[in-house]
Structure 1
Amino acid sequence: MMKINKKWLLISLIAATLGLTGCQSSNTMIVTADNQTVTVPKLPHKVVVMNYGALDTLDALGKGSIVVGAPQSVIPTYLNQYKKTNIKDTGNMKEPDLEAIKQVKPDLIIIDGRQASRAPELTKIAPVINLSVDAKNYIQSTKDHINVLASITETETKATNLIQSLEKKVNDAQSIALASHKKAIVAIHNDGKMILINTSSSAALIHDVLKVKRAVPVDVKSSNNNDKPKPVFIDNHYISTVKPDVIYIVDRSKAIGKEGMSENYFDSKVLKKAKTQVIYLTPDLWYLSGGGAESLDRQIDEVVNSLK
């Protein structure tokens, strides 16, 4: 009897690390995501995915065929294979189309922070799991999400291989970044304005995970806790003053189908004098996606290539 109890204790501990906290029945399981426990079906046949990072993870796990709905209007280019007639357009990233989602009768709905406020309504249609990326624990968050989706779809072996590959890629990227003298900033373009995003998930990945050196320190709040840091606008004067070796740009406007950043935004003479290299990150990958097995792999490549 003692041996059996120990065995079940070991199984419980392993399951907890995967986000799996127990079994409801032979057809359901309980998963933990975004600090919530949700009962979900095992091996769901019809899944609506509002989170592109989760979509590319399902694709990498070989389970893309269970996706019956996703936002179609701004789907990232690297996921174009899911922009087809047999996959229902389930609204945009912030406004899920509830009627369209009801029509496909999903077994499971996967969201992120953009749709979190609509979770109560979505839960009335099907179980909902929120796989938002935790910027402060970017890699662990991504690995946890891969494991959760693998548990639900019973693809744990593939998940293990994916995670091992990503861990090696991160370690290799860190070695390159630490050996490089280059210091960088991360900025976002929106409607003709360029703003420093030094504490964003993109900056967390580039600086905190991949170890690209910062050209400026992390923003800090003012002594008054009610005050938010003022936005720092990036322009020719900023480049001339700070002289970053690299500026990584996430073009939000272009990612959502609006007019992208002007090619003449920065004066070429200013860039040359400051010795600043401008890296245009793939807009839809960095703004709309991230935190998935494939998106993280692609993001690492873009950062590493800029340091060589």
Structure 2
Amino acid sequence: MTDFRTRATAFSRRSVLRTGLAGAAAAAVTATLAACGSSSADSGKSDSGKSGSASGGTVEVTTARGKATAPKNPGKVAVLDISLVDTMVELGLTDSIVALPKKNLPERLKSQFSSDKIVDTGALKEPDFDSIAQAGPDLIMIAGRTAGLYDQLTPISKNVLDFTVDPKDFLKSFTATTEQIGAVFGKEKEAKKKIEEIDARVEDIKKKAEKLDGTTAILMVSGGKVSTYAPGSRFGGIIYDALGFKPMVESTKDAAHGDTISFEFIAEKNPARAFVVDRDAAIGDEGKGAKAVLDNDVVKRADAFKNDAVVYVDAHAWYISSTGIASFNSILDDAEKGLAAAK
């Protein structure tokens, strides 16, 4: 118990330093964790503060941080990344999720997690650690935006797995991550089937995309500004590297957020087709939509816009949850639309 409370206190200090939480909020988290520690002494729960228990021993998996030992078939899981929620649902693991960021869920998943019994962990980058602790997870899963919270989550559960997908080797990393999640939950066969279905689609799209003339732009519109992406970036790793579309630009300075460009730049580069991500729509911000922003005479000089070869994509799937199974399939749907628009 002493060790757990020491770790909880350290967690409180890190919360103040790393996330800027007010002192009172950090103290509340510490109090919650200390209570969990006290409860474990009374009822035989582990020193991680969790109240659930895994039923199948342990399994060794490979994560973004290397090898890790995880509980096999954990019964109570806090999933702090929407891509991981997506994959869990696709593998039939909805009932294992006890905590997640409800606000960021796509419409298709909101009804499945509307119950008050499922804890809302709050914002993606600044989750409510108190709520996570109260959920008593056997396992916490993170990725992407939440990967940097690893050290702050280990006082809540000793089992924290980072399943971040590497955009520079997207397909291989996505496959490995899906397989590892399947291994944790005894869903290896289901994961294999999903991967095989995606691989078949990827192969078909790539064969067709590599034969296309001209380049393809990936444009993200946010707050009236436009940015573009290159191979190896968060979107380019899929569209260019995995699917074989020829890039409008070969490199950018910012792989995560793209490089800001002008309307004139688009016209000068003259892409034959374009995929457009409306970031404001993805995060629920009001304002001028991507179509309206790009509806101008300068942009229309580019062949993609002149020939109506522009796909306004599933913004949530691309921007929020691109590495989830269903979301990746939505991106492949958009890629197929791009192929059709190019004809």
CA 1:161/1:267 → structure 2, altered by over 3 Å: closer, same or farther?
closer
Pairing partner for 1:250 from 250, 274, 277: 277
Q: Kindly provide the CA deviation profile for residues 49-77 of structure 1, in whole angstroms up to 9, marking residues without a partner as x.
A: 11222211111111111111111112123
Q: Kindly provide the CA deviation profile for residues 137-161 of structure 1, in whole angstroms up to 9, marking residues without a partner as x.
A: 1111111111111111111111111
8 Å Cα contact 1:177-1:304 kept in structure 2: no
Q: Kindly provide the CA deviation profile for residues 268-292 of structure 1, in whole angstroms up to 9, marking residues without a partner as x.
A: 4444442223322212111111112
Match of 1:43 in 2: 73
Match of 2:40 in 1: none
SS class of match (2:227): strand
Mapped to 1, the partners of 2:235 and 2:107 lie a distance apart of 19
Match of 1:213 in 2: 246
CA 1:220/1:270 → structure 2, altered by over 3 Å: closer, same or farther?
closer
Paired letter, 1:107: D
Residue 266 in structure 1 maps to residue 294 in structure 2: yes
RMSD: 2.3
Alignment of 1:82-101 (within 5 A): 82-85=112-115, 86-101=117-132
Match of 1:33 in 2: 63
Question: C-alpha displacement at 1:264, in angstroms?
Answer: 2.6
Mapped to 2, the partners of 1:240 and 1:28 lie a distance apart of 56
SS class of match (2:261): coil
Greater CA drift, 181-190 or 101-110: 181-190
Structure 1 unaligned residues grouped into runs of 5+: 1-24, 222-227
Question: C-alpha displacement at 1:217, in angstroms?
Answer: 2.2
Mapped to 2, the partners of 1:104 and 1:47 lie a distance apart of 9
CA 1:27/1:271 → structure 2, altered by over 3 Å: closer, same or farther?
same
Number of residue-to-residue matches in the alignment: 277
Residue 161 in structure 1 maps to residue 193 in structure 2: yes
Question: C-alpha displacement at 1:211, in angstroms?
Answer: 0.4
Pairing partner for 1:122 from 150, 153, 167: 153
Structure 2 unaligned residues grouped into runs of 5+: 1-54
Question: C-alpha displacement at 1:99, in angstroms?
Answer: 0.8
* TM-score with structure 2 setting the length: 0.75
Residue identity over aligned pairs, in percent, reads 30
Question: C-alpha displacement at 1:214, in angstroms?
Answer: 1.4
Paired letter, 2:60: I
Pairing partner for 1:62 from 74, 92, 114: 92
Greater CA drift, 133-142 or 243-252: 243-252
Mapped to 2, the partners of 1:125 and 1:242 lie a distance apart of 50
Residue 192 in structure 1 maps to residue 224 in structure 2: yes
Mapped to 1, the partners of 2:114 and 2:196 lie a distance apart of 32
Match of 1:18 in 2: none
Match of 1:306 in 2: 338
Mapped to 1, the partners of 2:66 and 2:292 lie a distance apart of 47
Greater CA drift, 268-277 or 208-217: 268-277
Match of 2:268 in 1: 241
Greater CA drift, 131-140 or 211-220: 211-220
